[in-house]
């Protein structure tokens, strides 16, 4: 994983006793929308290369970015990963594919199912690299990018036939986790030399049924509890597939046009969810279509695209306990699914303006429009909704390259929607390079995130597939979330090693959070629900942290990647007295300390790595419920460390084989505390000391072919 700029290549002599070291520059496109050296980019950026992605088990995007400092991935009740950055939740992280937005509308899904969407990604064999912006990027990408941006860069079209394929399987040692199998691939077909080509891609992943059982010794108080032997919020098996294509047209050297279309499918579920202790399964579909044009002339570079995407889900009916599917899928108002449609139109203009001895200005500006619709279906007409919103933005940013030592960036985005007033998003950044191996960066950026359309109402809805047991209350008085991020970093990049240190502080106002009440508490007594969720603004909070990366570049085959992240969040002023988020409490349950150390070795056709990672001081969520996690296990979840080991051998120029052992020392993440339930019945409730269930020792085998 590359944290800053540069790299090293090695060229052994005939007797393999000497090594030639060449320092290579590294370019990224995510920080500003145009290509630039990573050290000069006005952001903190990490890059995960293709070879690293292909030598580890990858179910979703979270598995790819989990080692990036400042990034935390958390497995949900359906097994997929939610991605959090710098103390902010998954809703503040924008995911792109080749610079095109992939996020669904806020409020499209919740209650533990959001991790499904991180699986909507191109086949691993199609990915060239992944760029991660740590911190706000709202000037270029809008309000969804308050926490950071993940941009998946795929292979470009070429004039030669090429293809790639990967077969992989993951075999856990213990029966709680099901086996996983996958295949993915792509093929590039030139149709007309230098003018027209077709790229086809696809992938399929399947996970066997899991078997997360309740702890022994429980008092089972009702028939629902006795009929379901599985642990609460544990994942069923899963099925994911995707298929897509891109038609590339280059009429001349100045223009490039492509039409891209892809469909994604995911079937995920939870073995035991809701107060009724049911097994719930959902089907998700996502359709994504992009028409893009890039024009590159002496007068500048113009990039424009139109994007249409639709994402929808429906619940399965009559799912048996422990099952992976029901008798039918209740689409539309037969169930309580949702449908999200987005239309995006954007155009960017870029120009390198030379000022002679006074330097250069790199100008980037454009216009953005998005129409967004969110339909909530329900068997009860009173709980149905159909909301839409129009957003328009104008943005401009200029990077002034004074000389080889100093550059500064100033940008502004002006956002308008037909629900909220116009809001500005400025960014200011300074880069200083006193030598070719030392860089200092400092920046200030603001962010604004409007509340979810689905939350701005009076009253409540009985939501998801919980058979009417969970009530979600709207709040029409919610205010937009606002933040200012302050950041300082230094990079040392030499022929033998690279070191980066970043510190940040985020001043967060009006963050939207939820608090819960149990059965019989407050409004839950009126509604008659088992539990209730309420939205409110946390008046003032802050996030601060440090990110450290050390990369020892290859010397005689040995190299090292390591990272450390420190994250602290805290409520400074509470707005709602009923909320558990009082002054001094953490805003999010992200580990305070997060480290990864990965030594690597490569010799000829053989390579291997050992990955050692740890999470410490992960805060539990504050709660008003007597059986809430905080009141059962204390202020923090249990710390843990993991070790993975993997080896890859290149069988020939086209074929390679990877073997990996994950969770080498077989850490057991089932560590229950048995306690009284909400009604006071002894030994009728249980809570895990760990924040999430991670697989036991497992064996991953991958066969890869590139033609």
Digit-coded pLDDT (tens) for 462-504: 654 444 467 777 787 777 788 899 999 999 999 899 999 999 9
Average pLDDT over residues 385-395: 88
Question: Which one has a higher pLDDT value, 277 or 195?
Answer: 195
Digit-coded pLDDT (tens) for 202-228: 999 998 888 888 888 888 877 777 888
pLDDT value for 528: 64
pLDDT value for 4: 47
Structure tokens at 646: 């993997």
Average pLDDT over residues 541-547: 91
pLDDT value for 505: 95
The helix/strand/coil state of 133 is strand
For residue 23, pLDDT beyond 50: no
For residue 2, pLDDT beyond 70: no
Average pLDDT along the chain: 84
pLDDT value for 9: 31
Split at pLDDT 50, 70, 90, the class of 621 is confident
Return d(Cα 441, Cα 92) in angstroms, integer.
Answer: 23
Structure tokens at 489: 């970093």
**Mean pLDDT lowest among 29-43, 120-134, 335-349, 623-637:** 29-43
Which string of b and e fits 133-160 if b means at least 16 CB within 10 Å? bbbbbbbbbbbbbbbbbbbbbbbebeee
Quote the pTM value.
0.84
β partners of residue 563: 549, 596
Question: Which one has a higher pLDDT value, 321 or 157?
Answer: 321
Which string of b and e fits 215-235 if b means at least 16 CB within 10 Å? eeebebeeeebeebbbbbbbb
| % of residues, the chain, pLDDT over 70 | 88
Cβ pair 118, 103 in contact under 8 A:
no
Digit-coded pLDDT (tens) for 404-456: 899 999 999 988 888 776 778 899 999 999 998 999 999 999 887 777 776 77
Digit-coded pLDDT (tens) for 676-705: 877 778 888 888 899 888 888 999 999 999
Return d(Cα 92, Cα 84) in angstroms, integer.
Answer: 8
Digit-coded pLDDT (tens) for 562-613: 999 999 998 887 766 556 567 888 888 889 999 999 999 999 999 999 999 9
Pairing of strands 71-75, 81-85: antiparallel
Range 8-706 classified under CATH 2.40.170.20: yes
Split at pLDDT 50, 70, 90, the class of 324 is confident
Digit-coded pLDDT (tens) for 94-112: 889 888 888 776 667 666 6
Digit-coded pLDDT (tens) for 228-274: 888 877 788 899 999 999 999 999 999 999 999 999 999 988 888 87
**Mean pLDDT lowest among 2-11, 86-95, 557-566:** 2-11
For residue 393, pLDDT beyond 60: yes
pLDDT value for 466: 41
DSSP alpha helix (H) spans, 67-137? none
pLDDT value for 46: 84
Question: Which one has a higher pLDDT value, 445 or 89?
Answer: 445
Question: Which one has a higher pLDDT value, 154 or 461?
Answer: 154
Structure tokens at 570: 């805290």
Return d(Cα 31, Cα 48) in angstroms, integer.
Answer: 15
pLDDT value for 107: 63
Cβ pair 102, 288 in contact under 8 A:
yes
Backbone angles phi, psi at 630, to 5 degrees: -60, -40
pLDDT value for 7: 34
DSSP 619: B
Which string of b and e fits 509-540 if b means at least 16 CB within 10 Å? bbbbbbbbbbbebeebeebebbbbbbbbbbbb
Split at pLDDT 50, 70, 90, the class of 189 is very high
Question: Which one has a higher pLDDT value, 520 or 465?
Answer: 520
Return d(Cα 13, Cα 143) in angstroms, integer.
Answer: 52
Split at pLDDT 50, 70, 90, the class of 334 is confident
């Amino acid at each position: 994983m590359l944290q800053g700029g540069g790299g090293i290549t090695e060229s052994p002599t005939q007797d393999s006793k000497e090594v030639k070291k060449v320092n290579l520059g590294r370019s990224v496109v995510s920080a500003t929308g145009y290509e630039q050296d990573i050290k000069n980019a006005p952001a903190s950026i990490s890059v995960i290369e293709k070879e690293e992605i292909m030598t580890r088990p990858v179910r979703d995007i979270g598995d790819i970015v989990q080692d990036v400092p400042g990034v935390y991935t958390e497995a949900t009740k359906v097994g997929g990963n939610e991605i959090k950055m710098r103390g902010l939740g998954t809703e503040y992280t924008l995911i792109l594919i080749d610079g095109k937005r992939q996020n669904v509308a806020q409020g499209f899904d919740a209650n533990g199912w959001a991790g499904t969407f991180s699986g909507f990604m191109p086949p691993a064999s199609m990915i060239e690299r992944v760029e991660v912006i740590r911190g706000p990027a709202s000037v270029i990408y809008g309000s969804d990018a308050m926490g950071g941006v993940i941009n998946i860069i795929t292979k470009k079209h070429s004039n030669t036939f090429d293809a790639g394929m990967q077969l992989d399987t993951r075999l856990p040692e213990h029966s709680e986790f099901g086996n996983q199998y996958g295949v993915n691939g792509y093929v590039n077909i030139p149709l007309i030399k230098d003018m027209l080509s077709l790229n086809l891609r696809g992938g399929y992943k399947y996970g066997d049924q899991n078997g997360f059982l309740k702890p022994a010794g429980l008092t089972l108080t009702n028939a629902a509890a006795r009929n379901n032997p599985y642990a609460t919020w544990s994942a069923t098996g899963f099925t994911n597939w995707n298929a897509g294509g891109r038609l590339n047209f280059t009429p001349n050297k100045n223009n490039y046009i492509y039409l891209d279309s892809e469909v994604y499918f995911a079937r995920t579920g939870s073995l035991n969810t809701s107060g009724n202790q049911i097994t719930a399964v959902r089907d998700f579909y996502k359709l994504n279509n992009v028409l893009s044009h890039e024009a590159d002339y002496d007068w500048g570079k113009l990039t424009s695209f139109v994007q249409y995407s639709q994402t929808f889900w429906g619940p399965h009916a009559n799912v048996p306990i422990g099952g992976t599917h029901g008798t039918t899928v209740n689409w539309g108002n037969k169930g309580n699914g949702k449908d999200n449609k987005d239309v995006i139109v954007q155009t960017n203009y870029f120009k390198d303006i030379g000022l002679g001895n006074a330097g250069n200005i790199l100008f980037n500006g454009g216009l953005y429009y998005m129409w967004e619709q969110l339909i909530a279906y329900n068997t009860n007409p009173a709980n149905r909704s159909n909301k839409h919103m129009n957003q328009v933005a104008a943005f401009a940013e200029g990077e002034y390259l004074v000389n080889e030592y100093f550059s500064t960036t100033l940008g502004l985005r002006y956002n308008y929607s037909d629900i909220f007033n116009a809001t500005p998003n400025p960014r200011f950044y300074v880069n200083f390079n006193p030598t070719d191996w030392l860089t200092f960066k400092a920046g200030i950026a603001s962010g604004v995130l409007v509340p979810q359309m689905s939350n701005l109402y009076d009253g409540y809805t009985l939501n998801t597939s919980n058979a009417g047991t969970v009530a979600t209350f709207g709040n029409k008085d919610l205010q937009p979330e606002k933040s200012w991020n302050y950041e300082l970093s230094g990079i040392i990049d030499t022929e033998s090693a690279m070191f980066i240190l970043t510190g940040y502080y985020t001043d967060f106002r009006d963050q939207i959070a939820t608090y819960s009440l149990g059965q019989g508490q407050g409004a839950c007594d009126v509604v008659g629900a088992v539990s209730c969720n309420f939205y409110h603004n946390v008046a003032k909070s802050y996030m601060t942290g440090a990110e450290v990366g050390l990369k020892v570049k290859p010397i005689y085959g040995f190299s090292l990647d390591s990272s450390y992240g420190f994250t602290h969040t805290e409520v400074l002023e509470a707005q709602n007295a009923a909320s558990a988020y009082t002054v001094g409490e953490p805003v999010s349950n992200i580990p305070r300390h997060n480290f990864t150390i990965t030594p690597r070795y490569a010799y000829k056709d053989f390579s291997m790595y050992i990955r050692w990672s740890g999470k410490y001081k992960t805060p539990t969520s504050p709660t008003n419920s007597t059986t809430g996690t905080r009141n059962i296990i204390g202020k923090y979840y249990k710390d843990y460390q993991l070790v993975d080991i993997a080896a890859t051998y290149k069988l020939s120029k086209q074929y390679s084989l990877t073997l990996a052992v994950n969770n080498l020392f077989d850490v057991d993440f089932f560590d229950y505390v048995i306690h009284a339930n909400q009604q006071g019945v002894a030994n009728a409730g249980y809570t895990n000391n760990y924040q999430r269930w991670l697989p036991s020792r497992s064996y991953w085998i991958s066969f890869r072919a590139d033609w």
